[in-house]
Amino acid sequence: MKFFLDTAIVDEVAKMVDTGLVDGVTTNPSLIAKTGAKLEDTIAAMCKLTNGPVSAEVTATDSQGMIEQGISLRKIADNVCIKIPLTMEGLRATHKLSASGHPVNMTLCFSANQALLAAKAGARFISPFIGRLDDLGANGMDLISDIRLMYDNYPALKTEILAASIRSVGHMREAALIGADIATLPTKVMMDMVKHPLTSSGLDAFLADWEATGQNIL
Ligand code: E4P
């Protein structure tokens, strides 16, 4: 399973890349807006920090505008992935951009049928939003299961499932058990994944016992 960091904060990516856990980055207009930084500067900096795909989202709502913005975003760096919302205009743009060799991440996916359309259009990634479905009282993880089953019925479909809107370590565990290809997660969730109270208390005990021996390694 690949991990993308879901952030528009360049420093967060810079701090995490040396873990070897970061396979790419996803941003969206809301995350960019929160930083106050310029989209181009943020994406360019992130593309230097990772060789993996860095998703940058178009804001045009017509297919021609999406295509033009997408091509413009792709000029920032080779590893920019064009993020396009799951509308009919978005599908048109995805079809054209993908056919020309541009990687597209179709976002704001809330149904398996939308994911099927995205795959037919040639999207490289589909981003089903787990947390936002949970927020409405639905089970977002059911959507990941449905898309996994659907895509596995048609091996010719090469679109990768990018589990998005992840809010907790529980989401990560379930998405991995279902077989999502990728998860995009906030830095806090990545940090939380390593934590276990028995790891902390076990390490404290090992270090105290070692200290008592008076020995040193090397
Ligand atoms: C990633 O591609 C999405 O933009 C992101 O995961 C959305 O997360 P949120 O629902 O927590 O805003």
Q: How far is the CA of 129 from the centre of ligand 1 (A)?
A: 7
Tens digits of per-residue pLDDT, 153-167? 999 999 999 999 999
Cβ–Cβ under 8 Å, residues 27 and 56: yes
Place of tokens 């070692």: 210
With respect to residue 218, please indicate whether it lies within any of the assigned structural domains: no
The predicted pLDDT at position 114 comes to: 98
CB burial string 47-80: b at 16+ within 10 A, e below? bebbebbbbbbbebeebeebbebbeebbebbebb
* Nearest atom (ligand 1) to Cα of 131: 10
- The conformational region for residue 162 under phi > 0 = left, psi -120 to 50 = alpha, else beta, is beta
Tens digits of per-residue pLDDT, 110-128? 999 999 999 999 999 999 9
Catalytic residues, by residue number, are 83
Give the pLDDT band of residue 89 (cuts 50, 70, 90): very high
Say which CATH number the domain at 208 has: 3.20.20.70
Tens digits of per-residue pLDDT, 20-51? 999 999 999 999 999 999 999 999 999 999 99
Mutate to test the pocket of ligand 1, among 9, 28, 58 (most ligand atoms within 8 A of CB): 28
pTM here is 0.97
With respect to residue 130, please indicate whether it lies within any of the assigned structural domains: yes
- 124 three-state secondary structure: coil
Q: How many domains is the chain built from?
A: 1
Torsion of CA 207, 188, 49, 23, to 10 degrees: 90
Distance CA 158, CA 190 (A): 27
With respect to residue 110, please indicate whether it lies within any of the assigned structural domains: yes
Distance CA 198, CA 189 (A): 19
With respect to residue 139, please indicate whether it lies within any of the assigned structural domains: yes
Q: Which residues have CB under 6 Å of ligand 1?
A: 6, 26, 28, 107, 127, 129, 131-132, 164-165, 184
With respect to residue 14, please indicate whether it lies within any of the assigned structural domains: yes
Mean pLDDT within 164-188 = 98
With respect to residue 151, please indicate whether it lies within any of the assigned structural domains: yes
**Mean pLDDT, the chain, integer:** 98
The predicted pLDDT at position 200 comes to: 98
With respect to residue 120, please indicate whether it lies within any of the assigned structural domains: yes
The predicted pLDDT at position 156 comes to: 96
**Which residue's CA is the nearest one to ligand 1's atom 7?**
165
Mutate to test the pocket of ligand 1, among 130, 165, 166, 188 (most ligand atoms within 8 A of CB): 165
Give me 174's structure tokens.
Answer: 């379930």
- The conformational region for residue 24 under phi > 0 = left, psi -120 to 50 = alpha, else beta, is left
Distance CA 75, CA 149 (A): 36
- Domain region containing 159: 2-213
